[in-house]
Amino acid sequence: MTEEQFPQALSIAGSDSGGGAGMQADLKTIQSRHVFAATVLVAITAQNTLGVQQSLALPTAMIDAQFASLAADLQIRACKTGMLADVATVKAVVNNLKRYDFGPLTVDPVMIAKGGAPLLTEDAIAVVRDELLPLATLVTPNLPEAEKLSGLTITDQAAMRTAAKRLQALGAQNVIVKGGHLTHADSANDYVLLADGSDFWLPARRVDTVRTHGTGDTLSACITAELAKGRSLPSAIRTGKAYVEKAITDGILVGHGHGPLNHWAYPEDRDED
Ligand SMILES: Nc1ncnc2c1ncn2[C@@H]1O[C@H](COP(=O)(O)OP(=O)(O)OP(=O)(O)O)[C@@H](O)[C@H]1O
Ligand SMILES: Cc1ncc(COP(=O)(O)O)c(N)n1
């Protein structure tokens, strides 16, 4: 009898040397959900809570090699993408995701860091939209990303719903449009549109803080970890929202700018149904 493999999840992302966002946020989140985290590193940033000082995309042959290593040994049950840097990197990731079955894919279409630095070149946005979105089980754009991908202007909750429909029409099966950037509201409500057409809101009180570096990465990584454990998508999404809300609310002071989240805050034995 073969022993059952421990749940394994994969983060395909860039490194944030400051430790608050990107692959580091993914690792901390997945680890805290008691899922084994594997990584495909696609870019390196010299970054802290004040901004991104330098950025370097890795050679695509190195991306291919990391995917091949994982496919040859691990049993990845769910995966996510974060920073994908440029056209060549997005295409390399798309090709590998078509080659290997790493379970449900969550696409966090990271474009611009909190401090304003670009993490995806402008010409790569169309490649994400046309080639990566159709592979996505779930896409989790913030408002500016949803605008770029859908071509719509989003200033209220009605427009968030319209944008989600547009993203589904572009090929993503399920969509979360995150309301963190709707800064005129005192709430941080996210809109969820599922593959079967049903929808719901994830309500949250807006926390008045600058310590929100890596919120999007943390949300999508938590969802990915829950999916790797075999949780249903709605349950994984609710746990992700509760996890990120607690990680913002129980903040820690690190650095002098947009500080990171508290990845220990959400109880490790809890989840939302
Ligand atoms: N100030 C806040 N208070 C409460 N929840 C927030 C706040 N800011 C963001 N969130 C929540 O955090 C999650 C990520 O949202 P956001 O729109 O900030 O994504 P993002 O811009 O992709 O994040 P990042 O780029 O920092 O990783 C969402 O669930 C959002 O509602
Ligand atoms: C490597 C990497 N990936 C993702 C983000 C997005 O996070 P944020 O918008 O909070 O800066 C980032 N800053 N760096």
Instruction: Tell me, yes or no, whether 263 lies in a domain.
Output: no
Structure tokens at 107: 């696409």
201 located within any domain: yes
Ligand 1 neighbourhood includes 248 CB (under 6 angstroms): yes
Residue 170 neighbours by CB distance under 10 Å: 16
pLDDT of residue 180: 85
Cα(12)–Cα(156) distance, integer angstroms: 31
For residue 272, is it within any domain?
Answer: no
Q: Contact, 228 vs 78, CB < 8 A?
A: yes
HEC sequence for 175-230: EEECCCCCCCCCECCEEEECCCCCEEEECCECCCCCCCECHHHHHHHHHHHHHHCC
Q: Is the CB of 120 under 6 A from ligand 1?
A: no
Q: Which two tokens stand for residue 149?
A: 């991908």
Atom of ligand 2 nearest to the CA of 258: 10
User: Taking a C-beta distance cutoff of 8 angstroms, is the pair 84, 120 a contact?
Assistant: yes
CA dihedral 121, 123, 129, 133 (to 10 degrees): -50
Cα(22) to centroid of ligand 2, in Å?
5
Q: Which amino acid is it at 197?
A: G
Number of domains in the chain: 1
Ligand 1 atom having least distance to the Cα of 142:
17
Domain for residue 40, yes or no?
Answer: yes
Give dist(CA 182, CA 29) in Å, integer.
Answer: 24
| Residue 258 counted as domain residue | no
The CB of 261 under 6 Å from ligand 2? The reply is no
Q: What does the pLDDT read at residue 217? A: 98
Beta-carbon neighbour count of residue 53 at 10 Å? 12
Residue 167 in any domain: the answer is yes
Strand, coil or helix: 16: strand
Assign residue 158 the CATH number of its domain: 3.40.1190.20
Q: Which two tokens stand for residue 75?
A: 């049993």
How many beta carbons lie within 10 A of that of residue 226, not counting itself? Answer: 27
Q: How far is Cα 129 from Cα 87, in angstroms, rounded to an integer?
A: 12
- Would 271 be classed as within a structural domain? no
For 182-192, write each residue's pLDDT tens digit: 877 789 999 99
Residue with the two structure tokens 């974060």:
82
Taking the C-alpha atoms of residue 54 and residue 36, their distance in angstroms, rounded to an integer, is 29
Cα(261) to ligand 2 centroid in Å equals 12
CA-nearest of 260, 242, 259 to 202 is: 242
Q: What is the mean pLDDT of each run of 10 residues along the chain (273 residues)?
A: 91 98 98 98 98 97 98 98 98 98 98 92 98 98 97 95 98 96 85 98 94 97 98 98 98 97 95 88
User: What are φ and ψ of residue 144, in 5° steps?
Assistant: -60, -35
The closest-lying atom of ligand 1 relative to the alpha carbon of residue 258 is 26
Looking at ligand 2, which atom is closest to the CA of residue 214? 10
Cα–Cα distance between 206 and 192 in angstroms, integer? 18
Report d(CA 175, CA 47) in Å as an integer.
Answer: 29
Q: Would 106 be classed as within a structural domain?
A: yes
Domain that holds residue 53: 8-249
Predicted-assembly ipTM surpassing the 0.90 threshold: yes
Task: Count Cβ atoms below 10 Å from residue 237 Cβ, excluding itself.
Answer: 27
Give nearest CA residue, ligand 1 atom 8: 180
Residue nearest to atom 7 of ligand 2 (CA): 214
